[in-house]
Chain A
């Protein structure tokens, strides 16, 4: 994985230096036109959402294509009063699950990648086999389990299953990443008397940090977007994560409330915007890692 990414970067660098600058050609212009068409269409829902979030149902009825007049900033106040608490809920649940996932993926990925101990292959197989178990098989039984555990309507009903499921991919990614680091670095620390935990804490963890960030970004996006699992285990309106709350919000109010509904979508996008702004390269790395593994 690590080497493949490096290879990609190397190739890009070579292309940058080798490809001579030429005058714009017709074929390049056609490529731009086609790509821009795709971009425009891909942005339609986004642009529609932003404009609609400042309008009222009445404005839309009078002229669908008009700009907001006036710009209804109070739509955002209404939306925040409706789903603001759920956004904070979501941030809490998703951050907790992401931190736990990163910690577990870091520890277990490190142990599988660097430690040699009896039964390592068998234990790793136990983790590997989970790829064969689709989410649809465990969805309802996990719901029953969670009700037995009496954690329905508590944050744990989301955090624990999310963490458990999310760590699997993380362990794979971290394991192969850390297995690519030369053994000498770890060995020298051991020779100087560092304990196994210290080796992990001061060498393993920092060295696998880029991969852990990828794991974290993927986990954050995945959990923030989940609404099916929360629909089973969180009934309390004030505790619902925002994805579920948006669904309930839109199905509770009629089309006449569409302004605040769209405003709520925009507000709910803010955490993802922030995440993307800071973690886009981790996301790209994570998105392509699956294919490179195959």
Chain B
């Protein structure tokens, strides 16, 4: 047995070393996608790029139209009297059409203004076809589609079912897609004849068509990005968890870019909805554009920056990373299999091996009886634990592709104010928890009960202290929330009743008092488990010991100090360890009572972990917090075990 284990152990070590060796070069690859940015003087409203991706057109609230090269350097700019709300560029890149918030539209050819038109109402979005044969404009308020020719004449003005907020046009100009504020997408002819429509559950903020119109990508306020084919059939639909402000697709919709309101620019692969790459810009993003082959991605953000990103590099790196990852996993499995096979070969011929096989077969009923336990433990305890450890190194997107970020999540923890402020809070709570509800009051109560002469009364008090436990834990928290109520809470009413009304407070609303209020919630701290533990410990002290001390003339306090306390060492350790380990993980009371507030004054690490996962879908970050707490607890447990072993040998 031991020999076999040591073989296994050796191979495991070798496998780990090999994996670490392979891992180190590739970990940083994913972070070096070429990305350049350009800073405007105000929010970027709109970006566009021609099929070639040769340059990027940017419209900003600072009234400027900017043209950037692929390196994000300014090539040309044009200043209008008001914010540039929408920009479009013709497929070949010759024409640029823009709309501003003075209800003016402009057409440029090769950086030269061709014409400028005033409209009756403010346009929301503009699109331009290959030779500027059609310049299509929609309006948020009026359900209208207006089209102009290259020379500036108005071709037609048609009524459409709803006001448009986004627009796209095919290269030929034969189909126009409009994302409407009635949550529908309309694909229509230039004459306003609706070919098909598609309903979402939110305003369609972004729409993009592949050059031939075979694919239409839409992003909606309902958090979904949907890819449809030219007939309106859904190819895929993907929930990003936040409002979508812009989408863009390449020629074959093999690549779709998304701008979300929660500050992410994302690149998504077709078919699987696989996330290939993403960037957090720190502010809501307004618009994205993609070149025809998907190699250039442009994006605009409310942080005044326009980004130009070489996605081909990101894609290539993603592919390489994926392959490496698979190779490493295959390597681990292969090594382990090889090791196991080798160990087994050496071991098989020995007589012990034959005996073992016979032994296992003879005791098969034992193994069968253990199957249910182990199936559950592996599935619901070991798998999640390993998954948490593993995904703490990932940008974890359950349901989509996750990717490796190394220790990024852990680095982020050092910069997370909610987490940092939570550490002293939890330490204070644990400290007071131990002093009051862990040791102080329970030891006092146990000693008092122990010194009662009537064992019937001892029993009565034991039961009395158990009775409050019938209040469900959550109800206890909610009841205390009511006790702290500033207007009709028991605490303030009591203060008023005894003439201390001046001390009445909004206990949970005051950032200086809220944490103390949470600690005081256990009042009078008659924690029944600790009482029972100490009480049982006192009963287990041999009577002769106490009698002997008494004979020597020891007073009651001396007996407690020199006999009781030393004999209760195990109980102290138990209470201490369970208080610290349980306390570190706890966040139920702040979650229910204060939500971490007011002003972060009751935030604790567990709460930040819970919120990261449930509110912000930062699963990888949440896992990193829990892994850190696990490591702290692990160290404490090991220390505690050492202590107990030494005390046992005393």
Bitwise, B463-493 to A at CB < 8 A (1) or not (0) is 1111111111111101111110101101001
Chain B residue nearest to A227 (CB atoms) is B474
A108-B475 in contact given A12-B455, A42-B468, A294-B573 (Cβ < 8 Å): no
In whole angstroms, how far apart are the Cα atoms of A294 and B468 in the complex?
A: 27
Give the residues in chain A near B359, CB-CB below 8 Å: 117-118
**Minimum Cβ distance to chain B for residue A150 (Å):** 12
**Minimum Cβ distance to chain A for residue B326 (Å):** 20
The residues in A between 199 and 223 inclusive whose CB is less than 8 angstroms from any CB of B are: 200, 221
**Minimum Cβ distance to chain B for residue A109 (Å):** 9
**Minimum Cβ distance to chain B for residue A62 (Å):** 11
Give the residues in chain B near A140, CB-CB below 8 Å: 388, 609-610, 613, 619, 622-623, 626
Contact B523 A41 (CB under 8 A): yes
In whole angstroms, how far apart are the Cα atoms of A19 and B481 in the complex?
A: 46
Contact B581 A134 (CB under 8 A): yes
Chain A residue nearest to B452 (CB atoms) is A31
Give the residues in chain B near A278, CB-CB below 8 Å: none
Contact B441 A38 (CB under 8 A): yes
- B370 contacts partner chain A, Cβ-Cβ < 8 Å: yes
Contact B381 A108 (CB under 8 A): no
Question: Of B384, B466, B480, B524, which one neighbours A280 at CB under 8 angstroms?
Answer: B466
Question: Of B372, B479, B533, B578, which one neighbours A49 at CB under 8 angstroms?
Answer: B479
In whole angstroms, how far apart are the Cα atoms of A137 and B596 in the complex?
A: 20
Give the residues in chain B near A45, CB-CB below 8 Å: 468, 471, 476, 479-480, 483
Contact B370 A108 (CB under 8 A): yes
A148-B540 in contact given A28-B452, A133-B381, A291-B571 (Cβ < 8 Å): no
- A177 contacts partner chain B, Cβ-Cβ < 8 Å: no
In whole angstroms, how far apart are the Cα atoms of A4 and B539 in the complex?
A: 11
Contact B383 A137 (CB under 8 A): no
Dominant SS among interface residues on chain B: helix
**Minimum Cβ distance to chain A for residue B401 (Å):** 14
Bitwise, B439-469 to A at CB < 8 A (1) or not (0) is 0010001001101110101000111111111
Q: Which of B16-24, B36-44, B360-368, B506-514 contacts A (4 or more CB under 8 A)?
A: B360-368
Give the residues in chain A near B482, CB-CB below 8 Å: 52, 255, 258, 262
Contact A12 B619 (CB under 8 A): no
- B592 contacts partner chain A, Cβ-Cβ < 8 Å: yes
Contact A287 B533 (CB under 8 A): yes
In whole angstroms, how far apart are the Cα atoms of A52 and B571 in the complex?
A: 38
- A288 contacts partner chain B, Cβ-Cβ < 8 Å: yes
The residues in A between 1 and 51 inclusive whose CB is less than 8 angstroms from any CB of B are: 4, 7-8, 11-12, 14-16, 19, 21-22, 27-28, 31-32, 34-35, 37-39, 41-46, 48-49
- A290 contacts partner chain B, Cβ-Cβ < 8 Å: yes
Give the residues in chain A near B471, CB-CB below 8 Å: 45-46, 49, 265, 269, 272
Give the residues in chain B near A67, CB-CB below 8 Å: none
Give the residues in chain A near B614, CB-CB below 8 Å: 232
Bitwise, A109-129 to B at CB < 8 A (1) or not (0) is 011000111111001001100
Contact A272 B469 (CB under 8 A): yes
In whole angstroms, how far apart are the Cα atoms of A72 and B376 in the complex?
A: 47
Contact B588 A269 (CB under 8 A): no
Contact A197 B365 (CB under 8 A): yes
Question: Of A12, A34, A64, A283, which one neighbours B493 at CB under 8 angstroms?
Answer: A64
Bitwise, B10-28 to A at CB < 8 A (1) or not (0) is 0000000000000000000
- B627 contacts partner chain A, Cβ-Cβ < 8 Å: yes
Question: Of B467, B474, B490, B537, which one neighbours A243 at CB under 8 angstroms?
Answer: B474
In whole angstroms, how far apart are the Cα atoms of A163 and B379 in the complex?
A: 12
**Minimum Cβ distance to chain B for residue A249 (Å):** 9
- A185 contacts partner chain B, Cβ-Cβ < 8 Å: no
Give the residues in chain A near B619, CB-CB below 8 Å: 140, 144
Contact B453 A19 (CB under 8 A): yes
Bitwise, A245-263 to B at CB < 8 A (1) or not (0) is 0110010000100100110
In whole angstroms, how far apart are the Cα atoms of A165 and B382 in the complex?
A: 11
- B75 contacts partner chain A, Cβ-Cβ < 8 Å: no
The residues in B between 82 and 114 inclusive whose CB is less than 8 angstroms from any CB of A are: none
Question: Of B370, B391, B540, which one neighbours A4 at CB under 8 angstroms?
Answer: B540
Give the residues in chain B near A294, CB-CB below 8 Å: 570, 573-574, 644
Q: Which of B399, B468, B474, B537 has the largest count of A CB atoms less than 10 A from its CB?
A: B474
Give the size category of B's interface with A: 35 or more
Give the residues in chain A near B455, CB-CB below 8 Å: 12, 15-16, 19
- B377 contacts partner chain A, Cβ-Cβ < 8 Å: yes
In whole angstroms, how far apart are the Cα atoms of A134 and B627 in the complex?
A: 10
A123-B370 in contact given A138-B388, A250-B478, A265-B479 (Cβ < 8 Å): yes
In whole angstroms, how far apart are the Cα atoms of A252 and B467 in the complex?
A: 29
**Minimum Cβ distance to chain A for residue B274 (Å):** 17
- A225 contacts partner chain B, Cβ-Cβ < 8 Å: yes
Q: Which of B45-53, B63-71, B208-216, B630-638 contacts A (4 or more CB under 8 A)?
A: B630-638
What are the 6 A-B residue pairs with the smallest beta carbon separation, nearest first?
Answer: A117-B363, A141-B384, A164-B380, A41-B524, A265-B475, A164-B376
Subset of 14 A-B contacts with CB under 8 Å: A8-B539, A28-B453, A39-B526, A42-B468, A42-B524, A136-B585, A141-B384, A167-B373, A196-B366, A227-B473, A265-B471, A265-B475, A269-B475, A294-B574
Known: A134-B581, A140-B613, A269-B472. 14 other contacts (CB 8 A): A16-B455, A42-B468, A64-B488, A107-B370, A120-B366, A133-B630, A136-B585, A137-B385, A145-B383, A164-B377, A246-B478, A287-B532, A288-B532, A288-B533
Q: Which residues of B are interface residues toward A (Cβ below 8 A)?
A: 1, 356, 359-360, 363, 365-367, 369-370, 372-374, 376-377, 379-385, 387-389, 391, 398-399, 441, 445, 448-449, 451-453, 455, 457, 461-476, 478-483, 485, 487-488, 490, 493, 497, 523-524, 526, 528-529, 532-533, 536-537, 539-540, 543, 570-571, 573-575, 578, 581, 584-585, 587-588, 591-592, 606, 609-610, 613-614, 619, 622-623, 626-627, 629-630, 633-634, 637, 644
Q: Which residues of A are interface residues toward B (Cβ below 8 A)?
A: 4, 7-8, 11-12, 14-16, 19, 21-22, 27-28, 31-32, 34-35, 37-39, 41-46, 48-49, 52, 57, 60-61, 64-65, 104, 107-108, 110-111, 115-120, 123, 126-127, 130-145, 147-148, 160-161, 163-165, 167-168, 171, 196-197, 200, 221, 224-225, 227-228, 232, 242-244, 246-247, 250, 255, 258, 261-262, 265, 268-269, 272-273, 276, 280, 283-284, 287-288, 290-292, 294
